[in-house]
Amino acid sequence: MSEAPAPRGPSPGAASPSPLISPEALLARLGDPDLRIVDARWYLGRPGAGRAAYDAGHLPGAIHLDLDEDLSARQGPGRHPLPEPAEFARRMGDAGIGSRQTVVGYDDQGGWVAARLWWMLERLGHRHVFVLDGGLRGWTDAGGTLSTGIPAWPSSRLEVDGGWTGTIDRDALRQRLGRLVVLDARAPARYRGEVEPIDPAAGHIPTATSAPFEANLGPDGRFLPPDALARRFHELGADGERPVVTYCGSGTSALHHALAMRLAGLPDPILYVGSWSDWSRAGYPVATGPEPGPPA
């Protein structure tokens, strides 16, 4: 993959539909025949646990899509490479998700897997896709019930708008270190290199700033207001002066920042799809500790 000429998304201050839907608004839409709710729960190092959680109870009418099986390619850079657009469109269509349906994704970990579904569908031209603000907790707190029924949606057709845009590969990223704002969405201990549960090297990409995705959320698990998000990203250096690249372990929680920056009215960031799972296997320089470090 290579960097797109220009990421999509609004310029600062531009009006744009929110990528979020509140639990209250979703409750009011239950029963809409064109509504498609997707349970995107997935847990690092626990294959099948997301589906098991879905089977135990999920939003009424929701299907389950798995990060490994449905939202990733079998091969490519990193642990969760993007699938070919046509193949992804076929998978979604077979699951009953087409261009005319409204799609709402949710999970129970702050929306980081649901944000990947949102980003993937929107990048390929879907105009009616949202993340449930507050996720499963927000739903139950708002009085929503859970179900164990599994819907059978008829197949549909997802029209794709070209290929993936707004991405960068590891070689292009390395060449531009020092000229980009690089945000690491992982937990601070992984950024500092104190722990590494799954990838072969511990630490972070040189020049990257620690920006754990959970800080985009309030105590209630919902996203912070747009002005608070804008302040956060400005403090991280994402002020619109330089392009922003987001990464995480495998290109998933990094997209929580894409959603948060959209809410904040900032330009969309560029995604390093392979993320740490790709960089850490390339033999490239690694920084450790709390500081970003010099360019590699």
Paired with 114 in beta bridges are none
DSSP 125-144: T-SSEEEETTHHHHHHHTT-
Catalytic residue from among 229, 248, 264, 287: 248
Q: Count of residues for the chain?
A: 296
The residue among 84, 41, 40, 33 whose CA lies nearest residue 61 is: 33
Contact 269, 7 (CB under 8 A): yes
HSE, side-chain direction, 13 A CA sphere, residue 221: 21
Nearest-angstrom CA–CA distance, 88 and 164: 11
Contact 138, 164 (CB under 8 A): no
| Residue 248 a catalytic site member | yes
Nearest-angstrom CA–CA distance, 62 and 149: 9
Active site amino acids: 248
